[in-house]
């Protein structure tokens, strides 16, 4: 039976799981393709990468399995920012969690770049003040 994959089995012999540096490059590629007006609205949002969310974060969110959290927006959404500007406030951050993203990617048929893009854009949506329900409606309308 012919393989649907153009690579030979030996092409995978020396490959390793994508590192945090690879994820950083994928996230940078996503940002590079975003319209300038969206990037301007992102301001000084930091994008951080870790293998997993910290236990304190998982506990605060009521998440038992660390593989259930692929990304996280941390900070004040643009819709709340004016009302909550505090001196010394930490910058808004978007976290991407490598291992849960890799597990999600391995269980589906999307490319890793597409999964990283989806998670990053989802978290940017939270920065803009969109809820999960808002984003589900937008995604459904786009399909």
Query: In which domain, by residue range, is 42 found?
Result: 17-142
Please give the torsion angle defined by the CA atoms of residues 92, 98, 104 and 106, in that order, rounded to the nearest 10 degrees: 150
User: Is residue 8 assigned to a domain?
Assistant: no
Residue 4 tokens, joined: 């649907």
Give residue for tokens 């030979």: 8
Query: How many domains does the chain divide into?
Result: 1
User: Is residue 118 assigned to a domain?
Assistant: yes
User: Is residue 7 assigned to a domain?
Assistant: no
pLDDT in tens, the chain (143 residues): 455 566 666 677 888 899 999 999 999 999 999 888 888 888 788 999 999 999 999 999 999 999 999 999 998 888 875 545 555 567 899 999 999 999 999 999 999 999 999 999 999 999 888 888 988 887 777 76
Residue 120: left if φ>0, alpha if ψ -120 to 50, beta else—which one? alpha
User: Is residue 11 assigned to a domain?
Assistant: no
CATH number for position 32 = 3.30.2010.20
């Amino acid at each position: 039976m012919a393989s649907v994959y153009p690579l030979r089995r030996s092409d995978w012999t020396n490959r390793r799981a994508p590192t945090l540096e690879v994820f950083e490059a994928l996230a940078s590629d996503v940002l590079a393709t975003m319209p300038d007006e969206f990037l301007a609205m992102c301001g000084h949002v930091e994008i951080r990468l870790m293998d997993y969310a910290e236990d304190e974060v998982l506990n605060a969110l009521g998440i038992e399995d660390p593989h259930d959290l692929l990304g996280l927006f941390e900070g004040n959404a643009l819709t709340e920012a004016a009302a909550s500007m505090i001196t010394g406030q930490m910058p808004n951050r978007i976290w991407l969690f490598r291992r849960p993203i890799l597990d999600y990617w391995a269980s589906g048929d999307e490319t890793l770049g597409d999964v990283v893009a989806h998670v990053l854009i989802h978290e940017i949506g939270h920065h803009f003040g969109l809820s999960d329900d808002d984003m589900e409606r937008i995604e459904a309308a786009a399909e």
